[in-house]
């Protein structure tokens, strides 16, 4: 980019004398340039320097294209300026009679250099996400030794197992697990999630994110190329450099446009002399045809949209591994979701609490979680996690006792309490009141576990415990329905559980109790019905189905196998990102088509005008004006591609 910038400015300076002493320019603007011995050769001297200095990138590029038998943009530019140069040289030397084209040559090279500079700046800005991602990592980290002494060390020296001190406001230098402390971490630059995420002991943190007001001690689990940030950068770079079908279409269009331009130039060179026009007029027409048909904008149309769409996706937590997947997403009519960890949280929660008369839901959850505080059972974890999420302070319990197959007992605030399933009720020989009995039956019908809180001979509450649905799943399914897509649930879970989740989310079709090896068959069954299918999953069991589907969408927090199998990776495990992918795909495709028309469509009118079909009416395009129009199409394509940023909304 710097090379084209420098060449443009110097070429522009060299072009000024060429214009000032050009006989044609003096005639048009009715002035006389300063005269001195040799002044008549100023346009030729400066025009020659411009050709060899400013035009050298195009001549070299054209040579390589012809050597590879792939004539294109550089071929046309090099032909145009080379024809203009040699014809003008012959006129200046008196070998042939006519008007030289030195000023046209100089302005043409200057404008083409400007166009290339603008193109490179546009692509460089679009790919700036990679540079911004690289800047997220700090240069230094604070490492704690065994004695707890803090020492600042270069990030490059960190290794797995190191304990780091993350001070308030500091960037996290490596992936890790919180060992001590609580804080809120801003992960927006990695996941696109605007709300800071609370972190405490056991939570994972990502390199490049920014710590909030609290202080954290973090054990390093990944550094350098092992970090999530490095993985994101690799995926972004891979997607931006991968060739898409639309790019192949643009390349074919550029090739055919090049052939059309060369043929048109040849016909122009033959016809005008036969009609009695001078060679100066004919060469000018040939040069204009070659310039105006240059597929410069075509070379920018697709790569720029590709770079911008990939950057938009990365900034919103959508990592495109395969451009084909993003292109195919706009054609989808069916989205298949795995259940556990995708539409649900992947861990059990209290999904419904029914308390006895006179008691509140928070009160019974508080004491039930306290009873289970020292237990390891998933039911205990569900009660504790749910209490934490409700902001409930769980008191300490005493005299904890586990009763395998029945439940647990503990003393909470001098109250002897039991928590357990139906076996506990039988052991204690107690019956729940009618409201609690109906709540337990309803939970069982939905495939949920019913857990009771008992004090003495009284049942205080029943908790329906299950893998809770993500709050975002409701909006995700609604948005997909609004787009006219069918939503399918594919799970190995029981029919009762699957139907309960599907009913709550308003999912159209359910495949339950599907063995891992049968998931591919279900995807193929849908495809056999003529449906374009996306599979969304996060586990090893989902990898074959992700590969079989038309578009595989992997949950980023899932296993590495699933992530590698997906065409698109969702960094933040938010199912609302699935409709966002489809919206991005549609917007990207629209911009690609628009850019192809902006880049090539104007040639339908421009090439005949450049060839001089309206010359009898005095309408002619000069080579420099042709270069302006061609460069203008490049600018329009660049601006139109940038507008893609407004076309995609975040979840």
% of the chain beyond a pLDDT of 90: 17
Query: Three-state DSSP class for 46?
Result: helix
Banded pLDDT at 126 (limits 50, 70, 90): very low
Look at residues 468, 485, 516 and tell me which one is the last residue of a structural domain: 468
Co-location of 464 and 474 in the same domain: no
- Round to whole Å and give the CA distance between 466 and 266: 76
Ramachandran region of residue 111, left (φ > 0), alpha (ψ -120 to 50) or beta?
A: alpha
Residue at 135 is within a domain: no
Q: What is the CATH number of the domain that holds 478?
A: 3.40.50.1000
Tell me which of 544 and 549 has the higher pLDDT. Answer: 549
Q: Report pLDDT for 101.
A: 72
% of the chain beyond a pLDDT of 70: 84
Residue at 582 is within a domain: no
Q: Give the chain's mean pLDDT.
A: 81
Of 255, 252, 294, 285, nearest to 267 by C-alpha is: 285
Banded pLDDT at 129 (limits 50, 70, 90): very low
Co-location of 256 and 120 in the same domain: yes
Q: Report pLDDT for 561.
A: 45
How is residue 142 written in tokens? 């604070």
Residue at 228 is within a domain: no
Q: Report pLDDT for 340.
A: 75
C-alpha dihedral sign at 93, 95, 97, 101: negative
Co-location of 601 and 462 in the same domain: no
Tell me which of 164 and 190 has the higher pLDDT. Answer: 164
How is residue 380 written in tokens? 């205990």
Q: What is the dihedral of CA 582, 585, 590, 594, to 10 degrees?
A: 170
Residue at 581 is within a domain: no
pLDDT digits (tens, 9 = 90+) for 434-487: 999 999 888 877 777 788 999 988 999 999 888 778 889 999 999 999 999 999
Co-location of 331 and 360 in the same domain: no
CA–CA distances in Å: residue 302 to residues 68, 217, 452, 529: 22, 46, 61, 33
Q: Report pLDDT for 559.
A: 43
Whether residue 71 has pLDDT greater than 90: no
The whole-number average pLDDT for the span 116-139 is 60
Banded pLDDT at 573 (limits 50, 70, 90): confident
CB 289 within 8 A of CB 86: no
pTM across the whole model: 0.62
Q: Report pLDDT for 461.
A: 92
Domains in the chain: how many in total?
Answer: 4
- Round to whole Å and give the CA distance between 440 and 113: 76
338 catalytically annotated = yes
Whether residue 303 has pLDDT greater than 90: no
Whether residue 250 has pLDDT greater than 80: no
Whether residue 192 has pLDDT greater than 50: no
Whether residue 525 has pLDDT greater than 90: yes
How far is the first Cα of the chain from the last one, in angstroms, to the nearest whole number? 35
Whether residue 240 has pLDDT greater than 80: no
Look at residues 468, 497, 532 and tell me which one is the last residue of a structural domain: 468
CA–CA distances in Å: residue 198 to residues 158, 166, 317, 358: 25, 14, 18, 34
Look at residues 525, 541, 571 and tell me which one is the last residue of a structural domain: 571
Query: Three-state DSSP class for 198?
Result: strand
Q: Report pLDDT for 288.
A: 77
Of 600, 630, 598, 639, nearest to 107 by C-alpha is: 630
Query: Three-state DSSP class for 506?
Result: coil
How is residue 592 written in tokens? 């690609």
The whole-number average pLDDT for the span 71-82 is 75
The residue range of the domain holding 329 is 318-343+470-571
Q: What is the CATH number of the domain that holds 203?
A: 2.70.150.10
The β-bridge partners of 337 are: 489, 536
C-alpha dihedral sign at 30, 36, 37, 42: negative
Residue at 416 is within a domain: yes
Residue at 391 is within a domain: yes
Whether residue 551 has pLDDT greater than 50: yes
CB 221 within 8 A of CB 176: yes
Tell me which of 377 and 580 has the higher pLDDT. Answer: 580
Tell me which of 268 and 557 has the higher pLDDT. Answer: 268
Co-location of 634 and 490 in the same domain: no
Q: 127-136, 213-222, 358-367: lowest mean pLDDT where?
A: 127-136
Q: Report pLDDT for 124.
A: 59
Q: Which pairs from 351-354 meet CB under 8 Å and 24+ separation? A: 351/448, 351/464, 351/465, 351/466, 351/468, 351/469, 352/439, 352/443, 352/448, 352/463, 352/464, 353/461, 353/462, 353/463, 353/464, 354/435, 354/436, 354/439, 354/461, 354/462, 354/463, 354/464
Angle between helices 623-642 and 296-315 (to 10 degrees): 10
CA–CA distances in Å: residue 492 to residues 193, 335, 511, 563, 640: 30, 17, 8, 20, 46
Tell me which of 624 and 371 has the higher pLDDT. Answer: 371
Co-location of 463 and 490 in the same domain: no
Q: What is the CATH number of the domain that holds 454?
A: 3.40.1110.10
Co-location of 1 and 93 in the same domain: yes
- Round to whole Å and give the CA distance between 14 and 381: 76
Banded pLDDT at 327 (limits 50, 70, 90): confident
Q: 213-217, 585-589, 645-649: lowest mean pLDDT where?
A: 645-649
- Round to whole Å and give the CA distance between 174 and 220: 6
Whether residue 238 has pLDDT greater than 70: no
Co-location of 376 and 488 in the same domain: no
Residue at 151 is within a domain: no
CA–CA distances in Å: residue 126 to residues 2, 300, 322, 368: 17, 12, 18, 54
Q: 3-12, 70-79, 411-420, 494-503: lowest mean pLDDT where?
A: 70-79
Q: Distance between alpha carbon 155 and the CA centroid of its chain, in Å?
A: 27
Q: Which of 322, 338, 542, 574 is catalytic?
A: 338
Co-location of 35 and 126 in the same domain: yes
Q: At a CB cut-off of 8 Å and minimum separation 6, what does 430 contact?
A: 454, 457, 458, 459
Q: Which of 340-344, 358-362, 465-469 reaches the highest mean pLDDT?
A: 358-362
Whether residue 274 has pLDDT greater than 80: yes
Co-location of 352 and 339 in the same domain: no
Co-location of 475 and 464 in the same domain: no
Whether residue 17 has pLDDT greater than 80: yes
Banded pLDDT at 194 (limits 50, 70, 90): very low
Residue at 260 is within a domain: yes
User: Residue written as tokens 């059990």?
Assistant: 348
The whole-number average pLDDT for the span 116-129 is 57
Co-location of 5 and 109 in the same domain: yes
């Amino acid at each position: 980019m710097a090379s084209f910038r420098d060449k443009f400015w110097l070429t522009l300076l060299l072009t000024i004398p060429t214009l000032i002493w050009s006989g044609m320019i003096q005639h048009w603007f009715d002035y006389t340039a300063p005269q001195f011995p040799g002044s008549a050769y100023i346009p030729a001297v400066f025009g020659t320097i411009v050709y060899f200095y400013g035009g050298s990138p195009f001549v070299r590029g054209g040579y390589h294209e012809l050597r590879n038998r792939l004539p294109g943009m550089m071929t046309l530019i090099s032909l145009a300026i080379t024809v203009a140069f040699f014809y003008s040289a012959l006129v200046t030397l008196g070998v042939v009679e006519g008007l030289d084209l030195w000023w046209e040559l100089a302005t043409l090279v200057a404008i083409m250099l400007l166009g290339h500079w603008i193109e490179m700046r546009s692509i460089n800005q679009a790919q700036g996400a990679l540079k911004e991602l690289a800047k997220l990592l700090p240069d230094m980290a604070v490492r704690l030794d065994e004695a707890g002494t803090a020492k600042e060390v270069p990030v490059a020296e960190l290794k797995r197992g190191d304990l780091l001190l993350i001070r308030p406001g500091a960037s996290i230098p490596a992936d890790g697990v919180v060992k001590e402390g609580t804080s809120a971490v801003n992960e927006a630059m990695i996941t696109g999630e605007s709300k800071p995420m609370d972190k405490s002991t056991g939570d994972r943190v990502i390199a490049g994110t920014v710590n909030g007001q609290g202080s954290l001690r973090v054990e390093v689990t990944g550094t350098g190329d092992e970090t999530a940030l490095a993985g994101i950068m690799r995926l972004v770079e891979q997607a931006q450099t991968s060739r898409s079908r639309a790019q192949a279409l643009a390349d074919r269009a550029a090739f055919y446009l090049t052939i059309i331009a060369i043929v048109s130039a040849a016909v122009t060179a033959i016809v005008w002399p036969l009609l009695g026009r001078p060679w100066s007029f004919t060469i000018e027409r040939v040069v204009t045809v070659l310039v105006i048909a240059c597929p410069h904008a075509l070379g920018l149309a697709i790569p720029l949209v590709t770079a911008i769409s990939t950057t938009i996706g990365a900034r919103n937590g959508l990592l495109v591994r395969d451009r084909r997947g993003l292109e195919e997403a706009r054609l989808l009519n069916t989205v298949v979701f795995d259940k556990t960890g995708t539409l649900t949280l992947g861990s059990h929660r209290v999904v419904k609490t029914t308390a006895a008369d006179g008691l509140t839901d928070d009160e019974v959850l508080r004491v039930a979680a306290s009873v289970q505080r020292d237990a390891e059972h998933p039911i205990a974890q569900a009660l504790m996690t749910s209490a934490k999420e409700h902001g409930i302070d769980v008191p300490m319990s005493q005299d904890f006792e586990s009763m395998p197959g029945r439940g647990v007992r503990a003393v909470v605030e001098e109250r002897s309490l039991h928590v357990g399933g139906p076996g506990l009720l039988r052991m204690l020989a107690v019956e729940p009141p009618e409201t609690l009995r109906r709540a337990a039956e309803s939970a069982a019908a939905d495939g949920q576990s019913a857990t009771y809180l008992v004090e003495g001979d009284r049942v205080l509450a029943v908790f329906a415990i299950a893998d809770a649905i993500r709050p975002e799943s409701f909006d995700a399914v609604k948005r997909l329905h609004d787009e006219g897509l069918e939503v399918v649930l594919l799970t190995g879970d029981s029919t009762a559980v699957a139907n309960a989740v599907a009913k709550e989310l308003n999912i159209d079709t359910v495949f339950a109790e599907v063995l891992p090896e049968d998931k591919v068959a279900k995807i193929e069954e849908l495809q056999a019905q003529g449906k374009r299918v996306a599979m969304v999953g996060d586990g090893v069991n989902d990898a074959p189905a992700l590969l079989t589907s038309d578009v595989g969408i992997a949950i980023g927090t899932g296993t590495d196998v699933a992530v590698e199998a997906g065409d698109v990776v969702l960094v933040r495990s938010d199912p609302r990102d699935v409709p966002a992918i489809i919206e991005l795909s549609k917007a990207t495709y629209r911009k690609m088509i628009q850019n192809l028309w902006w880049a090539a469509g104007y040639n339908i009118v421009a090439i005949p005008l450049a060839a001089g079909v309206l010359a009898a009416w005095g309408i002619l395009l000069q080579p420099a004006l042709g270069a302006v129009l061609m460069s203008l199409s490049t600018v329009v394509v660049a601006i139109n591609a940038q507008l893609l940023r407004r076309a995609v909304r975040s979840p």
